[in-house]
């Protein structure tokens, strides 16, 4: 089968590789039909993240079921499904606590399309992917929805969801600040989710005119400036800047008792955080890898109800054979579709 590999900075290549096969009665084989570029993928391709090629690329996707093990009884061949980018078993203690990113049933950090860090599970830009624990892993795509709109439900949409939704579901009467600029699509998905859940105020800060215009069109009030020390006081703050200044600003802009989530990956232990300010206000800070599988059904439900429109964040939908060119495009969200 054909598979797109990340080779080294700036270089991707289609290669011919053996097809995966069912290895257990719990497996499914899925043919990816639409793949989204994760915010991290763009950084990897441009040498801005410490991932060494070669490895098969792509980890946000909707596919069509081609073959099922005999224990996967909730699905049928030909069905369209979202595949979470992280592999989880659904049965261990951590999965039962919804901490699917840290599943004990598979090697730690098992993921599609991220090379040695995630293990050899293959990538989504290929003709076939093996999905273990398919009864738990797969989530059906409603027939009424465009699969391309749901491609990012594997990863970046849940990553955005966890920054705002758990708190807005408790009470929408809260203010939200999202600092973008690094995790491009996650930050804008967070805006869209906060709007969908009725947050009383949503401010989006960035210095890129195109992303600011998109945030404004989604319903945010925009703050167009380079990152200052503090931007005010908000109940919920989100650092999507991937910039230590953005992280510090989000933390300083969190109201007493508020909650700040950072989706950026800081690759060192020396990133400064304003601990005294945080202590003084008693805020909660969350960072870490998203537990993608746990949030997927809620996101699909919101899209199905017509309250969330992920396609508004999509910058470009490209045909399968143009994946290499499209993957390099410096825009918020690229989707590859067959
Ligand atoms: Zn990702
Ligand atoms: Zn597990």
Residues 6 or more apart whose CB falls under 8 angstroms from that of 196 comprise 302, 307, 308
Q: How far is the CA of 292 from the centre of ligand 2 (A)?
A: 13
* pTM attached to this predicted model: 0.97
Note the residue count of the chain. Answer: 338
Residues 6 or more apart whose CB falls under 8 angstroms from that of 5 comprise 12, 13, 14, 15, 53, 54, 55, 56, 57, 123
Chain CA centroid to CA 272, Å: 25
Residue 226 sits at φ, ψ, to 5 deg, of -70, 155
State whether 224 and 246 are in the same domain: yes
State whether 226 and 274 are in the same domain: yes
State whether 93 and 199 are in the same domain: no
**What pLDDT does residue 136 have?**
98
Specify whether the CB–CB gap between 19 and 13 falls below 8 A: no
- Please tell me the number of the ligand nearest to residue 110's CA: 2
Q: How far is the CA of 135 from the centre of ligand 2 (A)?
A: 13
State whether 150 and 38 are in the same domain: yes
State whether 327 and 245 are in the same domain: no
Residues 6 or more apart whose CB falls under 8 angstroms from that of 226 comprise 207
Specify whether the CB–CB gap between 148 and 314 falls below 8 A: yes
Q: How far is the CA of 106 from the centre of ligand 2 (A)?
A: 7
- Please tell me the number of the ligand nearest to residue 90's CA: 2
Q: How far is the CA of 260 from the centre of ligand 1 (A)?
A: 21
- Please tell me the number of the ligand nearest to residue 158's CA: 1
Specify whether the CB–CB gap between 158 and 299 falls below 8 A: yes
Where residue 257 falls (left for φ over 0; alpha for ψ -120 to 50; beta otherwise) is: left
**What pLDDT does residue 128 have?**
98
Specify whether the CB–CB gap between 26 and 71 falls below 8 A: yes
Q: How far is the CA of 173 from the centre of ligand 2 (A)?
A: 35
Q: Look at strands 2-8 and 11-16 and give their pairing.
A: antiparallel
**What pLDDT does residue 225 have?**
86
Query: Which residues of the chain fall below pLDDT 70?
Result: none
- Please tell me the number of the ligand nearest to residue 293's CA: 2
The DSSP bridge partners found for residue 337 are 34, 319
Q: How far is the CA of 99 from the centre of ligand 2 (A)?
A: 8
Residue closest to 270 by CA, chosen among 253, 247, 250: 247
The CATH number of residue 262's host domain is: 3.40.50.720
Q: How far is the CA of 325 from the centre of ligand 1 (A)?
A: 19
Q: How far is the CA of 149 from the centre of ligand 2 (A)?
A: 28
State whether 294 and 280 are in the same domain: no
State whether 18 and 120 are in the same domain: yes
Q: How far is the CA of 276 from the centre of ligand 2 (A)?
A: 37
Looking at 174-274, list the stretches that DSSP marks H as alpha helix, in order from N- to C-terminal side: 184-196, 209-218, 244-252
The range of the structural domain enclosing residue 16 comes to 2-155+290-337
Compute the mean pLDDT over every residue in the chain, rounded to the nearest whole number. 97
Looking at the chain, list the stretches that DSSP marks H as alpha helix, in order from N- to C-terminal side: 39-45, 93-96, 134-137, 147-150, 156-170, 184-196, 209-218, 244-252, 275-281, 292-304, 323-327
The three-class DSSP label of residue 230 is coil
State whether 117 and 170 are in the same domain: no
- Please tell me the number of the ligand nearest to residue 160's CA: 1
- Please tell me the number of the ligand nearest to residue 97's CA: 2
Specify whether the CB–CB gap between 218 and 312 falls below 8 A: yes
State whether 127 and 182 are in the same domain: no
pLDDT digits (tens, 9 = 90+) for 33-64: 999 999 999 999 999 999 999 999 999 999 99
State whether 146 and 196 are in the same domain: no
The CATH number of residue 143's host domain is: 3.90.180.10
Kindly report the CA angle at 334 between 82 and 125, in degrees rounded to 5? 55
**How many Cβ atoms from other residues are within 10 Å of residue 255's Cβ?**
17
Specify whether the CB–CB gap between 297 and 108 falls below 8 A: no
Greatest Cα-to-Cα distance within the chain, rounded to the nearest angstrom = 57
pLDDT digits (tens, 9 = 90+) for 75-116: 999 999 999 999 999 999 999 999 999 999 999 999 999 999
State whether 149 and 163 are in the same domain: no
Q: How far is the CA of 39 from the centre of ligand 1 (A)?
A: 6
State whether 106 and 208 are in the same domain: no
Total domains present in the chain = 2
**What pLDDT does residue 75 have?**
98
CA dist., res. 20 & res. 75, Å (int): 19
């Amino acid at each position: 089968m054909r598979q797109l590999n990340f080779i080294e900075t700036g270089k991707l290549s289609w290669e011919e590789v053996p097809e995966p096969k069912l290895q257990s009665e719990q497996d499914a084989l899925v043919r990816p039909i639409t793949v989204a570029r994760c915010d991290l993928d763009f950084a990897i391709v441009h040498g801005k993240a410490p991932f060494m090629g070669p490895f098969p690329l792509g980890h946000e996707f909707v596919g069509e079921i081609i073959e099922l093990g005999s224990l996967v009884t909730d699905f049928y061949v030909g069905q369209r499904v979202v595949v979470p980018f992280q592999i989880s078993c659904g049965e261990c203690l951590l999965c039962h606590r919804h901490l699917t990113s840290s599943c004990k049933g598979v090697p730690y950090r098992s993921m599609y399309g991220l090379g040695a860090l995630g293990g050899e599970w293959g990538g989504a830009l290929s003709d076939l992917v093996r999905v273990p624990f398919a009864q738990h892993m797969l989530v059906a795509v409603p027939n009424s929805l465009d699969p391309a709109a749901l491609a990012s439900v594997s990863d970046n949409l849940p990553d955005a969801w966890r920054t705002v939704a758990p708190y807005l579901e408790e009470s929408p009467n809260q203010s939200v600040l999202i600092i973008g600029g690094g995790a491009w699509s996650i930050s804008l998905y967070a805006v869209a989710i906060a709007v969908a859940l009725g947050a009383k105020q949503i401010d989006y800060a960035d210095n890129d005119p195109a992303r600011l215009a998109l945030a404004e069109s989604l319903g945010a009030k925009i703050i167009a400036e380079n990152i200052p020390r503090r931007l005010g006081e908000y109940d919920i703050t989100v650092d999507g800047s991937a910039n230590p200044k953005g992280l510090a600003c989000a933390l300083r802009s969190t109201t007493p008792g508020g909650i700040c989530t950072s989706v950026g990956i800081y690759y060192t232990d020396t990133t400064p955080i304003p601990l005294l300010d945080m202590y003084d206000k008693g805020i909660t800070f969350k960072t870490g890898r998203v537990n993608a599988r746990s949030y997927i059904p809620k996101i699909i439900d919101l899209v199905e109800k017509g309250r969330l429109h992920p396609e508004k964040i999509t910058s470009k939908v490209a045909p399968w054979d143009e994946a290499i060119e499209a993957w390099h495009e410096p825009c918020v969200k690229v989707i590859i579709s067959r």
